[in-house]
Amino acid sequence: MYLFCYNTARQTFKGRVFMSELDVVRDLAKQTLTIPTSTSDVDNSLWDRARRLVRNVEHIRQLPELAKAGLQIDRFCLTAATYFSDAGMAGHLKEEENTAKSALSNANGDYLLDLGTKIVEDKLEDCIDKARIKKINTIITESNGHFTKSAEAMILSDARNLDDMGATGIFNEFRRLAYHGKGVCDALQSWKKKVDYRYWQARLKESFRFEDVRKLAEQRLAAAEHFMNQLKLETDAQDLRELIVKKMDFAVPNK
């Protein structure tokens, strides 16, 4: 049974540990997002992402443009929603009797949201009141839409979309492709297709609610482009080809 101390993260009194509500949420989220595998190891990728997203929302909520807009933010519900925002995927992976590859292939957005809602209710019902559980689920659900006016949902949405950009975005994409047995050439082809169809430009234009986060996403995307260009160069052995040409030029005596 959890004992709560609302004013601090963790305190001890006469040798007993008192945990805040957010500590409890964090521990339950970690249990939820840690996926057993066929080996003795566990898949911590969703939990790792949740911690990244929490760091994102902690910084985004402090942006001056939010203060200027007079947005009131429920920090507790926002953080809890962020920790559990991938609960539906975690539940789907745990339910799937086949491989993670199969589970990821069959995932449906609405289904994952519904499953995530049930998981949040089940996990938090003994430690958080129903009104806040409902708000947490609303934040998660609305963060996946385009028309929410909820400050918390907009912050979570920007945090999730920012995680798709830059180095973390490349890592997420490579991991997804690896699940499907794809290699470097497939990653380059997927990247080229997105560039050709102006996918990233559309994401930058439509996916971010806050201008400062959008600008940061542009910077991360530029870093990702640099990396993918280098990956293509190495895959094509272009740098090696240029080296050989240069060496051959030096080897030819001047006339």
CATH number of 1-163: 1.10.3210
Q: Is the pLDDT of residue 2 over 80?
A: no
Task: Locate 35 and state its tokens.
Answer: 């996926």
For tokens 């699940």, name the residue. Answer: 179
> What residues pair up with 19 in beta bridges, in sequence order?
4, 10
- pLDDT score, position 36: 87
Cα end-to-end span (Å), the chain: 88
Task: Locate 94 and state its tokens.
Answer: 């745990």
For the entire predicted model, the pTM comes to: 0.85
Is the distance from CB of 16 to CB of 9 less than 8 angstroms? no
Task: Locate 107 and state its tokens.
Answer: 């995932």
- pLDDT score, position 146: 85
Spatial neighbors of 152 by CB under 8 A, at least 6 apart, are 73, 74, 77, 78, 81, 139
How much is the mean pLDDT over the chain?
87
pLDDT digits (tens, 9 = 90+) for 33-87: 999 887 778 889 999 999 999 999 999 999 999 988 888 899 999 999 999 999 9
pLDDT digits (tens, 9 = 90+) for 158-211: 999 999 999 999 999 998 898 889 999 999 999 999 999 999 999 999 999 999
All CATH 1.10.3210 domain ranges in the chain, comma separated: 1-163
For tokens 């589970």, name the residue. Answer: 103
